[in-house]
């Protein structure tokens, strides 16, 4: 495809993008129809329907990406008429382009254009999820540090925290010990289990810790058996809450080593342009 064709098509696709009241971008199918070279709406509507089916097959809800709308068109002499149209997300446009004839310049360009933009969105979502997991892991470390300090202050035994935390894990993971979970998820013995847990499980452990910390101070708990029972109850309650949503913590797959995620995020941050110092 010649460079001038690419430049022209890029400008055309950029001109068609619209934004709703919340700033989210969308394209109207009638506009895209013309740009992609479909002479008849009936033919293009069939392509849209195939794209809806593909959307559902990929695990997405078509209603989130294809919104049926109507718009008014000018018939001349001040007369107007309402016609059917569809508001499309980038992903919807990508699926439509995938159902077109790539021998046509506009279709071939659209397939690449929307694929790259969709991939950028995926990368953004992945980065946000990674940062969220890192934040959750740091928060868990803080709540565990607080719990460890409170237990040592009340009980005076440095090993009490480890024993209490282990019993909490058994309650959270449906009877499986910390070592059982490490073996199940392939976690090295030298590494904390939490470094390989998914975000939701990390947050579950942190939530149980926070409740335990609060109740120890509120109720004046001061011995290991009492604190242990409290922590076990809180982990079991959190497990029950997850179970109501069909989530079993012990059944979730391992997530990527948190240290690798942290190094990747830090490396990407170093590549960002540094702000210029103010004069």
CB 213 within 8 A of CB 194: no
CA distance 199 to 206: 11
Task: Strands of 65-139 (E only): list them.
Answer: 66-76, 79-88
CA distance 206 to 143: 6
Q: What is the pLDDT of residues 136-191, one digit of tens each?
A: 999 999 999 999 999 999 999 989 999 999 999 999 999 999 999 999 999 999 99
Q: What is the pLDDT of residues 193-245, one digit of tens each?
A: 999 999 999 999 999 999 999 999 999 999 999 999 999 999 999 999 999 99
Nearest residue to 68 via CA among 29, 117, 12, 11? 29
Read off the pLDDT band of 278 (50, 70, 90): very low
User: Is the pLDDT assigned to residue 15 strictly greater than 50?
Assistant: yes
For 152, residues 6+ apart whose C-beta sits below 8 A from its C-beta are 158, 160, 161
| Residue located via tokens 């953004």 | 124
Alpha helices, H only, 17-104: 29-35, 41-57, 90-98
Question: What six digits make up the tokens of 149?
Answer: 């300090």
Q: What is the dihedral sign for C-alpha 47, 53, 57, 61?
A: positive
Q: How far is CA 85 from the centre of its chain?
A: 30
Whole-angstrom Cα Rg for the chain: 27
Give the model's pLDDT for residue 276: 45
Query: What percent of the chain is modeled with pLDDT above 70?
Result: 91
DSSP code of 58? T
Read off the pLDDT band of 11 (50, 70, 90): confident
| Residue located via tokens 């059917």 | 84
Task: Report the side by side order of strands in the sheet with 66-76.
Answer: 18-19, 25-28, 79-88, 66-76
| Residue located via tokens 């033919």 | 43
Give the model's pLDDT for residue 271: 63
CB 170 within 8 A of CB 176: yes
Nearest residue to 175 via CA among 253, 252, 249? 249
User: Which H or E run contains 179?
Assistant: helix 178-185
């Amino acid at each position: 495809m010649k460079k001038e064709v690419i430049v022209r098509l890029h400008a055309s696709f950029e001109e068609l993008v619209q934004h709703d009241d919340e700033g989210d971008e969308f394209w109207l199918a009638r506009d895209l129809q013309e740009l992609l070279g479909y002479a008849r709406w009936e033919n293009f509507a069939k392509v849209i329907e195939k794209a809806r089916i593909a959307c559902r097959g990929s695990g997405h809800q078509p209603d989130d990406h294809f919104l049926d709308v109507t718009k008014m068109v000018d018939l001349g002499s001040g007369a107007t008429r309402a016609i059917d149209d569809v508001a499309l997300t980038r992903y919807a446009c990508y699926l439509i382009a995938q159902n077109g004839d790539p021998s046509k310049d506009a279709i071939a360009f659209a397939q690449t254009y929307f694929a790259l933009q969709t991939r950028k969105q995926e990368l953004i979502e992945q980065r946000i999820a990674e940062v969220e997991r890192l934040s959750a892991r740091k928060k868990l470390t803080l709540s565990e540090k607080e719990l460890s300090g409170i237990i040592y202050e009340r009980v005076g035994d440095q090993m009490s925290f480890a024993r209490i935390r282990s019993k909490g894990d058994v309650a959270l993971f449906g009877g499986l010990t910390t070592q059982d979970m490490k073996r199940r998820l392939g976690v090295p013995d030298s590494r904390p289990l939490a470094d390989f847990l998914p975000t939701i499980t990390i947050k579950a452990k942190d939530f149980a810790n926070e409740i335990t910390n609060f109740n120890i101070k509120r109720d004046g708990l001061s011995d290991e058996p009492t604190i242990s029972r409290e922590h076990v109850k809180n982990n079991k309650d959190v497990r029950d809450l997850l179970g109501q949503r069909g989530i079993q913590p012990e059944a979730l797959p391992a997530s990527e080593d948190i240290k690798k995620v942290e190094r990747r995020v830090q490396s990407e941050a170093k590549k960002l342009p540094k702000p210029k110092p103010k004069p």
